[in-house]
Amino acid sequence: MSKMYVNVIHRGDRGALTSRDDYFASHPANVMRAKANDGPNSPYMRRFIDQWIEQKNYNGFAYYSVFVSTLWVVPDNIFVDAVNHSRAMYIDSLQYLKEKRERGEVDFVTMSEFADVYNRIP
């Protein structure tokens, strides 16, 4: 059965892997930075996750990283949106991924666990 593997990593770890091309990346803060939200709501965020899940149907698997950073969920964060909007989007995206896991659509894994899965792919 094809799966999507989700890894939650700290922003600093991910920053070593990519440049600043993350305006539509999986971190809810990037969605806010790109202004793809309406206050605490972002249908885009859920559709984005669903598109990643769809990739497993083409590739046999999908890998999705969720960035974790506290700067944007504390008062006086660096975004224009209110802190309760930031928190609501963060919570919603994680709850959505949890629902997908409960339905068996995704697995939550560490980097090492995903490496083991990836190395078994023919």
CA distance 25 to 62: 15
Instruction: Please give the pLDDT value at position 23.
Output: 45
State pLDDT tens for residues 63-115. Answer: 887 766 677 777 776 666 788 888 888 889 889 999 999 999 888 888 888 88
CA–CA separation, 73 and 85 (whole Å): 9
Mean residue pLDDT of the chain comes to: 76
pLDDT at 2: 59
- Residue % of the chain over a pLDDT of 90: 8
Rounded Cα distance between 46 and 28, Å, is 10
Q: Is 110 left (phi over 0), alpha (psi -120 to 50) or beta?
A: beta
Provide the residue ranges of all domains of the chain, joining segments of one domain with +: 3-119
What's the confidence (pLDDT) of residue 1? Answer: 44
Identify whether the C-beta of residue 85 lies closer than 8 Å to the C-beta of residue 39.
Answer: yes
